[in-house]
């Protein structure tokens, strides 16, 4: 089971993700928001890379069952119904709704993964559920950290630590031999060094400090709550839905023993 890590989705072309098993990680806040929205009954999430796409798609969908959610510079986009704070995606607001989702990095990484063989959306809030899903068949995975737009501050430490925590849990599961290239080992080492207090990690991170400055300090606690939203958001066609328990691959029965025990 080979686990690759990309620390910045902007560096990859969508064809490099074609037919791969991908977990998109954007802890602050897109992946967390997607998990919360689906857990609260949203029908589906439609990730788009641009505001223009969001407006175009919502024009073709029925207004009453469609919401537009997302952010630019952490704040709700003008003309949208929701920003990107997980706290906004309550049951009362999102149940039964299709959410056209447009954020700076997270939804771009999700849209870039549209040709993946399998796409999960992972964060701290649903970490164990994602790791369990990865362990169902032991296939190779790419942990795709959304990161931030290219430039000096394109590395997102919270996404890297989340990837490292997933890797550490895969190691501890001892279910499959793991092939961990350099970036994967680096992520696991980051988690070992910084994973003791995830809230502190988020508060000290570049984006966490920015979110706190613009009034979203409460989101950091929500995003740091490990396994608080134990769901598996999975791509189905061009949308992301909640994977139902019956959609888990059925475990292969142990081969019937023919020779005497
Ligand atoms: C992103 O997608 O870049 C982040 O989730 C942005 C944010 O929510 O502040």
pLDDT digits (tens, 9 = 90+) for 13-46: 999 999 999 999 999 999 999 999 999 999 999 9
Mutate to test the pocket of ligand 1, among 8, 10, 75, 103 (most ligand atoms within 8 A of CB): 103
Q: Find, among 9, 74, 6, 62, the residue nearest to 211 by Cα.
A: 74
How many Å apart are CA 12 and CA 66, to the nearest integer? 30
CA pair distance 110, 186, nearest whole angstrom: 23
DSSP label at 255? P
Tens of pLDDT along 53-109? 998 888 766 666 789 999 999 999 999 999 999 999 999 999 999 999 999 999 999
Mutate to test the pocket of ligand 1, among 74, 77, 110 (most ligand atoms within 8 A of CB): 74
Beta pairing partners, 21: 118
Atom nearest to 83 CA in ligand 1: 8
| Tokens, residue 205 | 């991170």
1-19 pLDDT, tens digit each: 999 999 999 888 999 999 9
- pTM of the entire predicted model: 0.92
Closest ligand 1 atom, residue 210 Cα: 9
- Which atom of ligand 1 lies at the shortest distance from residue 216's CA? 9
The owner of tokens 């190691």 is 171
Q: 30 CB under 6 A from ligand 1?
A: yes
Q: Is 205 in the pocket of ligand 1 (CB under 6 A)?
A: no
**Domain spanning 3-241, CATH class:** alpha beta
Task: Kindly list the domain boundaries of the chain, sorted by start residue.
Answer: 3-241
Question: CB of 4 closer than 6 A to ligand 1?
Answer: no
């Amino acid at each position: 089971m080979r686990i690759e890590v990309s620390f910045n989705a902007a560096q990859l072309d969508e064809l490099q993700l074609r037919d791969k098993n991908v977990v998109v990680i954007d802890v602050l806040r897109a992946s967390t928001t997607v998990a919360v929205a689906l857990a609260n009954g949203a029908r589906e999430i439609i990730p788009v890379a641009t505001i223009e796409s969001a407006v175009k798609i919502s024009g073709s969908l029925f207004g009453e069952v469609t919401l537009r959610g997302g952010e630019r510079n952490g704040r709700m986009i003008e003309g949208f119904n929701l920003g990107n704070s997980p706290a906004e995606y309550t049951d009362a607001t999102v149940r039964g709704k299709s959410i056209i989702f447009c954020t700076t990095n997270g939804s771009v990484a999700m849209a870039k993964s549209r040709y993946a063989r399998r796409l999960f959306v992972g964060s701290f809030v649903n970490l164990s559920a994602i790791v369990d899903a990865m362990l169902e068949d032991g296939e190779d995975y790419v942990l795709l950290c959304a990161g931030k737009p290219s430039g000096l501050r394109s590395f997102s430490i919270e996404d890297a630590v989340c990837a490292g925590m997933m890797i550490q849990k895969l190691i501890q599961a001892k279910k499959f031999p793991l092939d961990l290239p350099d970036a994967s080992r680096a992520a696991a080492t980051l988690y070992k060094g910084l994973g003791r207090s995830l809230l502190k990690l988020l508060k000290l991170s570049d984006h966490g400090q920015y979110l706190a400055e613009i009034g979203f300090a409460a989101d950091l606690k929500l995003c740091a709550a490990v396994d608080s939203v134990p769901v598996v958001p999975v791509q189905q066609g061009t949308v992301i839905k909640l994977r139902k328990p019956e959609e888990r691959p059925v475990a292969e029965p142990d081969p019937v023993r023919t020779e005497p025990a």
